[in-house]
Structure 1
């Protein structure tokens, strides 16, 4: 596929919607050695992804500690694409982690909205996780922001990593009683 690059435009910008739509199907062609276990139940997959979500954001919530930031980074593929409706797009793990270090660590913590996580299998690849989360001031209960998220998880030889993230619909969080 050949794309025309306009001055000042990232070469992938026009292809992103197409690639997002087609990309999920292209991953189904992985070899059996890389494929997730076919006999995993939907409940098992949901539990695995829920545990991964908890682990990646446990490290995220403590990312002011460089060791925790490194632990958080390890959950992401080196070529992760992160689409943020307010912050724009990052094309690599290093760029994404740099923005996290600068804008989040020591300032905000993420909390999954209970009951919002939904998990969908991607045959021969991994899973899609969708849900809602709030962002709270570090060390407090001031949770002023909320957003929806979608993450694509790849399982390769028993190791799970995030390859795509969409964080969108940022809005004020409802007041908690």
Structure 2
């Protein structure tokens, strides 16, 4: 019995299509220049911290974190064991900012400190330094301190999402 052309075509194309889908994250990351990867992760970093500190945009924040996010803080301990827990914590903190005399914080990335490294088949590591400022109500903003941070970004389904956050060396 002769083989139908569409079966032969499927037998030839399907394995290569599946391999291309499985290789997408690695190939997409590998195809980026170091400068492109650095700029992509820097932009994601800005969006993440803007959503947390400036806009309280928890809907956006939820798209920037993985479901299995873990957040480790050298002063606060393990502050989140899931993306939902992290987003809920930010939402709770944002609700507290409504009072006229509440404390508000601002994060500033020390631009020349940012380093980004590819993680083949997964995403990227981001390492840097950031400064924090705070003010109460409409009062003057004051420098609150500086810390180091490391973040692991996962690239899947065409999206970059942070999966691990370490915040340490606060001073």
TM-score, normalised by the number of residues in structure 1: 0.70
Deviation at 1:98, TM superposition (A): 2.9
Stretch deviating more after TM superposition (140-149 or 84-93): 140-149
Q: Output one character per residue of 1:38-77: Cα deviation in whole Å (capped at 9) or x when no partner.
A: 221111100111111111112122244xxx1221232100
For structure 2, the residue ranges without an aligned partner over 5 or more in a row are 1-20, 98-103
Q: Does 1:91 align with 2:76?
A: no
- Aligned-residue Cα RMSD (Å) equals 2.1
List aligned pairs for 1:96-175, cutoff 5 A: 96-103=86-93, 106=97, 107-137=104-134, 140-171=140-171
- Cα gap change, 1:125 to 1:36, in 2 (>3 Å): farther
Which structure has more helix as a fraction of its residues? Answer: 2
Q: Which has the larger radius of gyration?
A: 2
Deviation at 1:36, TM superposition (A): 4.9
- Find the counterpart in structure 2 of residue 40 from structure 1: 32
**DSSP 3-state at the match of 1:170:** coil
For structure 1, the residue ranges without an aligned partner over 5 or more in a row are 1-29, 172-177
Q: Output one character per residue of 1:124-172: Cα deviation in whole Å (capped at 9) or x when no partner.
A: 111000001112115753121211100000111320000101001111x
The runs of at least 4 consecutive aligned structure 1 residues that moved more than 6 Å come to none
TM-score, normalised by the number of residues in structure 2: 0.72
